[in-house]
Amino acid sequence: MISLLDYGAGNVRSLRNAITHLGFELIDIARPDDILAAERLIFPGVGAFGAAMHRLQQLGYVEPLREYLAAGRPFFGICIGLQTLFEGSEESPGVRGLAVIPGLVQRFPAGALSVPHMGWNGLRIFRDTALLQGTDSDKFYFVHSYRALHTSENTDWVLSETDYGSSFVSAIQRGHVMAVQFHPEKSGPRGLEVLRRFLSGDADAASADHQAVPRPAEQAAMLGKAASAPDIRSDTPTRFAKRIIACLDVRTNDTGDLVVTKGDQYDVREAGAVRNLGKPVDLARRYYQEGADEITFLNITAFRDFPLADQPMLEVLRRTSENVFVPLTIGGGIRAFTDTEGRAYSALDVAGEYFRSGADKISIGSDAVSTVQQVRALGSGDGSSAIEQIAELYGNQAVVISVDPRRVYVMSPEHTERQVIETSIPGPNGESFCWFQCTVKGGREGSDVDAIELARVCERLGAGEILLNSIDRDGTGIGFDLELIAAVRSAVSIPVIASSGAGIPRHFSEVFERTGVEAALAAGIFHRREVPIEEVKLRLRADGIEVREANDGG
Ligand code: 1PR
């Protein structure tokens, strides 16, 4: 029996699904006594370090947890569940962690690499353990802005490090107490196997220097003692992979079925009818098996109706998360709403329902444009926007901004106040300058906001990633709009997903080589089976671009 310590923030549904999928039964910790009564305890920390510790304090869980850990009983922490084992974190100064492991968790420094560290990376394994045995060449899904560092004082705990700029602690184990910075429940079959080893007890006794967690006195002594040399297995740096994302534009067709559709420059109708390219749950499952690193659903007509009334869409998410174990993003209609009976819902209510149904990230389109217009008028954010509220509660990494820009050509930069680029693709009247106008409601309306301003402001408000479409390129198959993508990529330090226009595998290499984006997304070529995901990854690998093995799907 597995006990789950879920304090109700973020998407724990995937972890529940993963545990059930692996054939284990699960009970929830509902009161402090349940912790000491647990046989095996799993702690998927979610959200910010301080919020997690406050919640544990409020619930009276801190002392029983410390006691459980001090007794060296089976424990598995995930992400913040690893970080809270340390003494504290720069994320929440003054908040004490569980302090089982010496050291402070620190933010990734600003620099060439985007923060959060979001995507698939490897493990450099230090000790021979059953938990991570044979995973040297595998990749796992990480998403975090803070990380624990390996020091001489905590070296006895460190199982593996991962490199992102510099190296950080990606897994720890001492006796039956273990934790990982990555998300095994989002890391495909390889991640599920790591989870299974904990759940089954196979990982318990396998550490070469298998020891119980030290009692506080021993711990104090240990803090002062010289570090023992780690049993280093490899000194090859781990390599962060570029992500390939399959996107499913979903809407109800004219006969009332929820279908995956695909537009040409956002027009999804052919001979008057909505194109039907398949069923959302089946297609998502297929892309998981074919090696997609992430799946995105866009509810493309959600701007018309109240999205929480759209139960089939929520059902799609619930069913997909039962057997798709890579990150899921959902977009469409995330904004405040008043229903026909006058009941008001906040964007947080809408997002919360998506997270509870299995989404790891939500994507905000039209509402981001009005937010930027408001911020312009006010001079700064006032905490009331969907972006700020969702990022505050669920973390920046959970908020993606979906941008739907189209080119607006001008004769010279003086002809507009927007951020203009000089373009190598001249306009209809020979113009050699353009700006990228953000549209709303699925490209139906323009705005006075340009894509660069939008990306910058949303990053400031707390967004964790930009999904950058292009109406000009959508469905054309002629390649990504490299000028647009390079301009937005260089304007922000959060990850950017290039989208729209992929036609052949080489387009993916090109967008990574020429713009430095972290991920590339495609729809049409995958839906029509013109280019399998595996072929894209083979091309990328041949061009020297790091990717996760395409056949890792399960
Ligand atoms: O504005 O918050 O309700 O969100 C609506 C979301 O729906 C936005 O993310 C918007 O991009 C999306 N959307 C709205 N209408 C359409 C449409 O196509 N009529 N789809 C639409 C956007 C673009 C990509 C597409 C890529 C790759 N689709 O998702 O998958 O362009 O396509 P390709 O590889 O075939 O070229 P809100």
The answer to whether 138 touches 157, Cβ cutoff 8 Å, is no
Instruction: Tell which CATH architecture fits domain 243-401+465-553.
Output: Alpha-Beta Barrel (3.20)
Q: Which atom of ligand 1 is nearest to the CA of 367?
A: 2
Instruction: Tell which CATH architecture fits domain 2-223.
Output: 3-Layer(aba) Sandwich (3.40)
For the chain, the domains span: 2-223, 243-401+465-553
The CA distance from 472 to 406, in Å, is 6
**Sign of the alpha-carbon dihedral angle for 155, 157, 160, 165:** negative
183 flagged as catalytic: yes
Two structure tokens written together for 191: 């991640």
DSSP string, 415-434: G-SS--EE-SS--TT---EE
φ/ψ of 51, rounded to 5, equals -65, -40
Ligand 1 near 301 CB (within 6 A): no
Please name every residue paired with 105 in a beta bridge, in sequence order, or none if there are none: 89, 148
Ligand 1 near 522 CB (within 6 A): yes
Which candidate, 466, 463, 324, 340, places its Cα nearest to that of 404?
466
Of 244, 330, 469, best ligand 1 pocket probe by most atoms within 8 Å of the beta carbon: 469
pLDDT of residue 232: 58
The CA distance from 91 to 114, in Å, is 17
Which candidate, 35, 6, 39, places its Cα nearest to that of 24?
39
* Sequence-ordered list of residues with C-beta below 8 angstroms from that of 193, at least 6 positions apart, any chain: none
Ligand 1 near 302 CB (within 6 A): yes
434 flagged as catalytic: no
Tell me, in angstroms, the distance from the centre of ligand 1 to residue 115's CA. Answer: 25
Q: Which atom of ligand 1 is nearest to the CA of 263?
A: 18
pLDDT in tens for each of the 554 residues of the chain? 899 998 766 668 889 999 999 999 999 999 999 999 999 999 997 778 998 999 999 999 999 999 999 999 999 999 999 999 999 999 999 999 999 999 999 999 988 899 999 999 999 998 888 999 999 899 999 999 999 999 999 999 999 999 999 999 999 999 999 999 999 999 999 999 999 999 999 998 644 444 444 444 454 444 444 344 455 567 789 999 999 999 999 998 888 889 999 999 999 999 999 999 999 999 999 999 999 999 999 999 877 777 677 678 889 999 999 999 999 999 998 988 888 888 888 999 999 999 989 999 999 999 999 999 999 999 999 999 999 999 988 889 999 999 999 999 999 999 888 999 999 999 999 999 999 999 999 999 999 999 999 999 999 999 999 999 999 999 999 999 999 999 999 999 999 999 999 999 999 999 999 999 999 999 999 999 999 999 999 999 999 999 998 655 44
* Letter string b/e over residues 115-154, b meaning 16 or more CB atoms within 10 A of that residue's CB: bbbbbbbbbbbbbebbbbeebeebbbbbbbbbbbbbeebb
Nearest residue (by CA) to ligand 1, atom 7, is: 300
The CA distance from 449 to 135, in Å, is 46
Tell me, in angstroms, the distance from the centre of ligand 1 to residue 299's CA. Answer: 8
Which candidate, 328, 119, 137, 112, places its Cα nearest to that of 241?
119
185 flagged as catalytic: yes
pLDDT of residue 208: 41
404 flagged as catalytic: yes
**Sign of the alpha-carbon dihedral angle for 52, 116, 546, 295:** positive
The CA distance from 187 to 325, in Å, is 6
Residue 316 vs residues 185, 199, 260, 357, 367: alpha-carbon distances, Å: 19, 28, 11, 9, 23
144 flagged as catalytic: no
pLDDT of residue 216: 44
Q: Which atom of ligand 1 is nearest to the CA of 248?
A: 30
